[in-house]
Each structure stands twice: as C-alpha cells, then as structure tokens.
Amino acid sequence: MEYRRLGETGLQVSPLCFGTWRFGKEHEGTVETGREEAHELLDAFAERGGNFVDTANGYGGGDSERWIGEWLADRDREDFVIASKCYWSTVSRFQENLSRKNVRAEVEGSLDRLGTDYLDILYLHRFDDDTPIERTLRTVDDLVSEGKVHHVGISTCDAWKLTKGLWKADVNNYEAFSVTQPLFHAAYYEDVAEYLDVCADQDLAVCPYSPLAGGFLTGKYERAGDGTYDLDAPEDTRAELDDRFLDFYVSERGWHVLDAVREVADEVDATPAQVALRWLMDQPDFDCVPIVGARTVDQLEENLGALDVEISDEQFDRIFEARYDEDGSLYQTNA
C-alpha cells in the first residue's frame, strides 16, 4: 500500500481511513458491530496495510475506543495513526461542550479506553458556540505540550467558524487545526465548497465522513418509480435502519451523480463504491483521505479495492458535472 501525506501533519497514512462508528452501536436492541467482529475488521484493515483508524469518545458508549485499545495492545502502537474526538461527554451529562473541563476529561477518558499515551489526532467533534474557541484551543495546546495530543482537527462546522479557529490559533500562537472531517461525497460538494476552499488555501487535510452517502453511492439502491424518494432498498441496509436516510442522502442530484458513477464503474471494471471513493482520493486541491465504515470484511475489502482503481480526468469531471442539469443549474439536494 502506498501511503500519502496528511496535510501538513507530516503523518504518512493509508489512502483510506477506517471509521469505527458502528462499533458497539445499537439499533433496536441489536449491536451492529460487536467486539469480535470489530477485531476481525481491524485485522483485515491492518493486513492490507491500513494504518489510519478513526473513532470518537462516544462511539458505542465508549466501546469503540475500548475494543480498539484491546486490539492495539497486541501491536506496535507506533505503526498506527489513531484519531478520536470530543464534544459530547462520556463523563458527565452536564458537560456537552468544548470547555476546558470537558475537553481535558474526555481526552483523558479516551486515552484510558484506548490504552495509549497519546492521540495522533484530536478532532473537535462540533464547534461550541458557547465557549470562546481560543479557550478550547488553549486547552488543546496544553495537551499538545504534554504529549497527549499530536495534531488538532475539527469536524462539522461552517467555513467561517473554521477560519475563525485558524485565526485565533495564529494570533495566540496555539496549535492550529491541520485536519478536517466534513460531510463530503460525490453528490455533496457545493454545499461545503467554502469549507473546502479554506482547506485548500491553508493546506488542511480533508478526511470526509459518509464518503458513500450512507451507502447510497454503492449502487445498491434503485429508483422504484418516477419520484426522487421512490427507491428499492435491500433488507438490512441503511435506508431501512435509519429514518433520516431519505432526507439526508437521497436527492435528485444524488441519482444523477450515481448514474455517472455507475457509468464510470462499468468503464474501469470497478464497483460504484470504489469509483466514488477513488473520486474523493483524487481531489486535486487538498489531501483527501476518506473515512470508510464497514459491517463485514467483504464490504471492507470492496472499499479497499478503490486503491487499485484509476479514473481519468474526463471521468472525474463527468462525475463532478453530473450535479448540473442541461441549463447549468444544480439539481436539488436535501442535506
């Protein structure tokens, strides 16, 4: 596996990051990915050369970090890049913010569950409008000085908030964001274009979550009628399990982009999922490392197959341009 630079962190990471948000996640009393399955998935990822693992303090009520920690205990910690997040609290129900108290408590909790002395990347899971960002950054800067955090990232927020955070870090000489984690996939670009422009200008790495639009861009769904929201969904897929799926991922724009992704997949002898991931990895303006999730080893292997796929500039542009109708107007999206 050829590794790539993660922005200005200096870290060399696998071109795909393995996301573990399903670890310990319950749906109607059933755990989507249990401990044994989690370790099997991590084994498969590492065997293919994957070294970049993403989690968060609250995934699976902390089980995601615990199971990763158990798995890491039998390996060389230095071989892996581990990212976690804080905002929502696992310590106190009254502390869901980026206060000094909550950030420090949550990082200490993550380190304990992961069985490690440091996080390679700490993401702010959300932007806290009620806590001055410079106060949060000062706390994180202290954690960096203590060696408990190496690099700082931020997930979902507005472009101006990302810019504000970068500015506050600069004027106060605090550790600045070097990695971002927005919602971003082939059918969802203009919606985060300003955010991505900031990332390109400041050489911030982009690690998008939901790179396959919750599974929509895998090609497993078909239109069932003339309407945007009429679709055939296989059993036990996200569309059946998640009430928000239709509103969040299915749109007229999405169907047109999916059609283009399928065309390119046929041309390069790949699956739609592999082409959609390759499209993200080939972003020309910033380092882009998609975060893939999988419930089975077969799904993970299919995603990793994107590393062996090549698409031309024309095919890349065709997927991009599928967002627009013949008049040059953007098709509707909902997210």
Please give the share of the chain, as a percent, with pLDDT higher than 90.
77
Residue 118: active-site member = no
pLDDT category at 230 given cuts 50, 70, 90 is low
Calculate the alpha carbon distances from 152 to 9, 269, 328 in Å.
Answer: 9, 38, 38
- Beta-sheet pairing, 177-180 with 149-156: parallel
pLDDT category at 241 given cuts 50, 70, 90 is very low
The catalytic residue among 3, 59, 221, 229 is 59
pLDDT of residue 98: 95
pLDDT of residue 186: 94
Mean local confidence (pLDDT), 302-320: 98
Q: Are 176 and 169 in contact (CB under 8 A)?
A: yes
Mean local confidence (pLDDT), 303-312: 98
Task: Assess whether pLDDT exceeds 50 at residue 37.
Answer: yes
Query: Closest Cα to residue 4, out of 305, 300, 206, 293?
Result: 206
pLDDT of residue 329: 81
> pLDDT by residue (tens digit) across 132-187?
999 999 999 999 999 999 999 999 999 999 999 999 999 999 999 999 999 999 99
159 Cβ contact list (under 8 Å, min separation 6): 192, 194, 195, 197, 198
> pLDDT by residue (tens digit) across 176-228?
999 999 999 999 888 899 999 999 999 999 999 999 998 889 988 877 666 55
pLDDT of residue 248: 58
pLDDT category at 93 given cuts 50, 70, 90 is low
Mean local confidence (pLDDT), 262-274: 98
pLDDT of residue 234: 60
Q: Are 134 and 98 in contact (CB under 8 A)?
A: no
pLDDT of residue 158: 96
Task: Assess whether pLDDT exceeds 50 at residue 239.
Answer: no
pLDDT of residue 103: 95
pLDDT of residue 67: 98
Task: Assess whether pLDDT exceeds 70 at residue 242.
Answer: no
User: pTM of the entire structure?
Assistant: 0.93
Cα 330 vs. chain centroid, distance in angstroms? 25
- Average pLDDT of the residues of the chain: 91
